[in-house]
Structure formats: structure tokens, C-alpha cells
Amino acid sequence: MSPKPIRPETSEGRKGVGPLIPPLTESQRPLRQQVFELVRAAGLIPRVHLAKDLGVSPASVTTISSELIEAGLIEEVSAQRDGDAGRGRPAVSLGVRAAAHCVAGMKLSDREHTAVIVDFAGKLVADEAIPRHPGPMPLAEILRAIEMLLDRVCAKAGIEKTALSAVGIGLPGFVDCAEGTVLWSSILAERSVPVAAAATAQLGLPVYIDNDANLVALAELWFGAGRSLPDFAVVTIEHGVGMGFVMNHRIYRGSQRLGMELGHTKVQLDGALCRCGQRGCLEAYVADYALAREATTALNWGHKESQPISVLLESLYDHAKAGNATAKSIFRRAGRYLAVGLSNVVNLFDPALIILSGERMRYDYLYAAETLAEMDNLTINTGRPRPPIEIHAWGDLLWAHGAAALALSEVTESILVTQAREIAAE
């Protein structure tokens, strides 16, 4: 039986195949934006190197850089060539005009709130921190704390609040950065709170928010170990367990901007109660409140329940270092659960690097050799080495730097898109 001939379809009935890719994707940013971002990333770069790195003509770079200079976003910087002292004109490079804008970044947490102000080139201008009482707070109280902290860090920087172009804020919980809404947070008494809009109204400045772990990843992407990596994971261990993931040099958040919640992956059915309200979450075995709960029970420390968690954990750590077997076993158990979580990150994403960050990383029992060995045993054996792991036990200022990077990114995007439209309309 001979096959039926394929009948040609009419143009009206023909359907296409293959992915429908928008004309302008994240990997195809406007050349104007690529030029600015490369100048910012390089610090200082000659026009000829810009053209070479971007694969475009020197004339295109000259035109775009002139527009950016006229807009006050970048500037020419003269630098004498090596060995050319006193001879000829100095070499000219392009750099971001630091004074063009400044932004603030904040981290709101269970223990304290921290803030930084950085200039348009990303250089730190001032930082500040204020303590807070633990436990959920109503939105009005959070807004007052934000305004007080912003006033204090601006005073330290010697600038008026109105001089800021934007404010970035990171906080724990389920945060929809696109809508500016916090669906749930351990520091907020209410759910589904439009924090960005409320803070914008309170401060009179554009405010952008995101999950704090995403902002640690953003800090590493802008200022730290992730600058040259296309993909990497940051796992944060503090009051909770968070994760930020960079994919193709961009923060990956998921379709509803609520993904990468490693701390709320389940490691034990019907297990310990997590502060999110569910049971068996990784966070419920690794975070500070989990360690404190175990210490209170296993060491019969009921009389210490009124102490701050930080004090109780320091006592637990001191006991472990002194050889107390029960204290050591609490950290060992938490480390084993952490190994489960990290092995799942490797098996799912195969990142180029995993960074462990947060205050709890001072407790080396969590990432002891046996913990990493257990992680290796739980990772799929492909015959290839697992991703390297780095420990960054930095303080809350790193998180605030990530929030500042969020604000810088939003300001830059807004300016470049607006100017591109104006140029196109001329």
C-alpha cells in the first residue's frame, strides 16, 4: 500500500512549529543596555575594547557611548598608559558616573534591620543597623522601622532622603517581586501584604522588594564570587533556610516568582513543625529555631527558653566545642539534613558553584567533612566531580548590598528603556 501524498496546506490553515521566542529576550538586550552594563562591570574600559567584547563596530560604540555621556550616565576617564608618562595624550576609558544616582538597600530580619547606601557605580557610601524585637510585626510598624533606618543611613551618608533614586528591600518569606507583595513572612503579622506600594507611599521613593536569599545571590552576582559564573546557587542559613539561584547571569525565580524555596522542601513526612505552618520542611531541622528547639529538649534547657535564640545557640556551640556529645549530635543531625538539601540542589540544577552563606555558617559542624561526605553519597554518581562549595559567613550588610543591587538594576533599566523610547520617537 503506497503512502498517501502529503497535501499542501493553504496559508490560512498552516501551523508553525518550534518555540515561540519573543523578538527581544533577556539574552538579546538592546545594544545601548549592553554597552552600559559592560562599562559598569569593567569599572573602566576603552571604547575599542567595548567594541571588541560586544562584537560590534567601533562607530556603534562611539555613538552609543556619546549618548550615555550626554545623558550623564557614564563619563570619560583619562589614564596615562604604562611607560608613556609625559608623552602624548593619555588613554581615555569609559566608566560609570558614580554621582549620577545613589540608592539604598535594606535587609529586614528577625534580629535586626540593616541598610547601605551605594552610588551609581556600586561603591559603598554609608551603612547602618538597628535592632528589633523578634516576632511578627504589623505592616505599620515595619514601615516606621524602614523610615527610621533610612533616615539614619542618609544622615550618616550626609545626603537628603530625596537624593535617592530608589530603595531595594529584602525580607524573608514568600515574596512576589514583580507585584511587590509579601505573601507570607516570619517578620510580618499579616499575609498578602503590598509592601512595595506601602513603602513607596511612606517614603515618597520608588521601592522594590524581593526574597532576602535572592538578594544574597544578587550580591554575589554583582560584587562577589558569582560575577564571572553563568550559574550558581546560594544557600542561606540563618533564622530560616533560603536559596537564590542564578541562571544565565540572571536571578531565576520561577513562573510565579516564588520558586527556589529550598528551606520548605520536605525532608520528613509528618516531621517537625516549620514556622510556615507545614511539617517536615528542611528549615525545621536546620534553621536557628530548629537548633534551639533541639537544644532545649535534648539538653534539658527548659530554664533557658526565655533567652534570645542567639544566646542559646552560642551556648550550644560552646558546649559542642567543649566535647559535649549531645550538643555535637544536634549539629551533626542538622548537618545531615543540610546534606540532603544540598544533594538535591546538585541533582536538580548541577550548578557551577554552591555558596553557603549566613550567620549560622560560623557553626562549622553544619559543614564538617562528614556532612560534605554524606552529601557526596546522596548526589547522583556520574563519575564527575560535584560542584565546589564555598563558605561565606558574611553579615547582614551583604544582604543589604544585594538589595542595593536590586535598586540599581531597576533604576538602570528604567532610565535606559525610557531614553531608548525617547530616541526612537525623535
Banded model confidence at residue 369, pLDDT cuts 50, 70, 90: confident
CA distances from 79 to 41, 62, 82, 83 (A): 18, 19, 9, 12
Collapsing DSSP to helix, strand or coil, 130 comes out as strand
Q: Which CATH architecture has domain 31-77+90-99?
A: Orthogonal Bundle (1.10)
pLDDT of res. 10: 54
Q: How confident is the model at residue 372 (pLDDT cuts 50, 70, 90)?
A: confident
Amino acid, single-letter form, for residue 364: D
**Cα 383-387-393 angle, rounded to 5 deg:** 150
b/e string for 334-347 if b means 16 or more Cβ within 10 A? bbbbbbbbbbbbbe
Q: What residues does CATH 3.30.420.40 cover in the chain? A: 101-216+398-418, 225-394
Lowest mean pLDDT among 28-42, 83-97, 130-144, 231-245: 83-97
Contacts with 298 (C-beta within 8 Å, 6 or more apart), sequence order: 326, 329, 330
Of 238, 286, 288, 236, whose CA–CA distance to 261 is shortest? Answer: 236
What is the per-residue pLDDT across 221-274, written as a single tens digit (0 to 9) for each?
998 889 989 999 999 988 889 999 999 899 999 888 888 999 999 999 999 999
Give the ranges where 21-114 is alpha helix by DSSP (H). 31-42, 47-54, 58-70
Terminus-to-terminus CA distance in the chain, angstroms?
Answer: 65
CATH of 225-394, one of 3.30.420.40, 1.20.1260.10, 3.40.640.10, 3.40.50.720: 3.30.420.40
Q: Does pLDDT of 81 surpass 90?
A: no
Nearest to 223 by CA among 86, 394, 48: 394
Grid coordinates of 389: 562549595
What's the CA gap between 154 and 125, in Å, rounded?
9
pLDDT at 302 over 80: no
How many of the other CB atoms lie within 10 Å of CB of 62?
A: 14
Cα distances (Å, whole numbers) of residue 32 to 24, 29, 39, 149, 311: 13, 8, 11, 35, 52
Residue 281 backbone phi and psi in degrees, to 5: -70, 150
Cα 422 from chain centre: 31
101-216+398-418 CATH pick, 3.90.1150.10, 3.30.420.40, 3.30.413.10, 3.20.20.140: 3.30.420.40
For the entire predicted model, the pTM comes to: 0.86
